[in-house]
Structure 1
Amino acid sequence: MEQLPRFAAWRFVDAVEGFEVVYTAPGELRGHTSAVEDGKPYAVHYAIHFDEEWRTREVLVSTDTVAGALGVKLASNGAGRWTVNDQPRPDLDGLMDIDLEASACTNTFPVHRLPLAVGETVRAPAVYVQALDLAVRRLEQTYRRLDADRFHYTSEGGFVAVLRYDESGLIVDYPGIAVRFA
């Protein structure tokens, strides 16, 4: 894959009204989202640090809602052991990727970390952080490579989509969720 651009931006569609902007640097994604979902506004800021193999190592997420501001810190040893706010979370053992509800960008981690051949399917459960309350839980998901830039994606609860990526591995089209415009 090509090097990530210095920044990218998405417009949320259908399920949520809003946008996301991410800034990239080697080993880091820093982003912001602002959205309204079901009449509930939120603004999320995140900083994700990852190693050269695209394994998530540290994540700082803050959200601001009408109820007030919250923050959470997640850390991984790179081998699937996690802490949340410095407390061990054995329920997250074995997970390698972060998936932020407020972000289209975080679906880039499995695509970079797991070089799949066309037709290959992989389970890629992730540590999932909800936007409004920053609740942290396991999210079951799969990716099947359809061709050079498209993956068939499923997640628990029956969500299914064909995700389209650019040559750097960032989402271009996430049907029903987001469309990249920069």
Structure 2
Amino acid sequence: MGTVIWRGIVYKSWETCRIERKNDTFHVESGIIGNYLNRVFNVNYTLKIDRNWGIQEFEIKTEIGGHRNLIGGTKSEDRWSVNGIARPECDEFLFIDISLTPFTNTLPINNLRLDVGQSAPIDVLYINILEDEIKPVRQLYTRKKKDEYLYENLDTNFSAAITVDQKGIIKSYPGLFELVMESKGN
């Protein structure tokens, strides 16, 4: 599908994300560098996504202030394990949400295929990279216009109107991320 570059506004970050379609799956490789509250971070993640934009497995390598960490998740028969430990509270979740990237918002947007005016609540495995926290979170997506969605985190009352391109790639996530460049791939 191509390469996308986002600028993180709050996180003072840059992300280069490569999205490739292989048969019935999408493979994503991404790198993020930034500085948040004087904490320099470097994050590399890979995702395997099914044809319906549901996450199948992920690997996130981080280095924050010199401390390295690895988070790996696998979904097998609708059951999640993270770093080899079963996470039954997240079983049957279709999506993850990684805190430092807008890409993971593309997953439910492309999976739900909402019509304008429709809403859908979802459960996600939320991965807060800077706080080293992994937990289930309830979210709501509402399609406001052809290219605009209202994203709501139902656990924190955070909301944002995000705009997307025709492939569901985030163009603007006000105050957090903005698309800098998108190159078309094969």
Question: Could you state the TM-score of these two structures normalised by the residue count of structure 1?
Answer: 0.92
Instruction: Check whether the contact 2:41–2:64 (CA below 8 A) recurs between aligned residues.
Output: yes
Aligned-partner residue type, residue 21 of structure 1 = T
Instruction: Check whether the contact 2:106–2:170 (CA below 8 A) recurs between aligned residues.
Output: yes
Provide the aligned length of Structure 1 versus Structure 2: 176
Q: 3-state SS of the aligned residue for 1:60?
A: strand
Q: 1:97 pairs with 77, 95, 98, which one? A: 95
Larger strand proportion, structure 1 or 2? 2
Aligned equivalents of 1:78 and 1:106: distance in 2?
21
Q: CA deviation at 1:130?
A: 1.5
Please tell me whether residue 9 in structure 1 is matched to residue 5 in structure 2.
Answer: yes
Query: 1:56 aligns to what?
Result: 55
RMSD: 1.3
Query: 2:40 aligns to what?
Result: 41
Question: Could you state the TM-score of these two structures normalised by the residue count of structure 2?
Answer: 0.90
Structure 1 residue runs of 4+, over 3 Å off? none
Instruction: Check whether the contact 1:74–1:83 (CA below 8 A) recurs between aligned residues.
Output: yes
Instruction: Check whether the contact 1:42–1:131 (CA below 8 A) recurs between aligned residues.
Output: no
Q: 3-state SS of the aligned residue for 1:139?
A: strand
Identity of aligned residues (%): 23
Which runs of 5 or more structure 1 residues have no equivalent in the other structure?
A: none
Deviations 1:29-50 (A, max 9, x none): 1101111222222111000001
Q: CA deviation at 1:54?
A: 1.1
Aligned-partner residue type, residue 85 of structure 1 = N
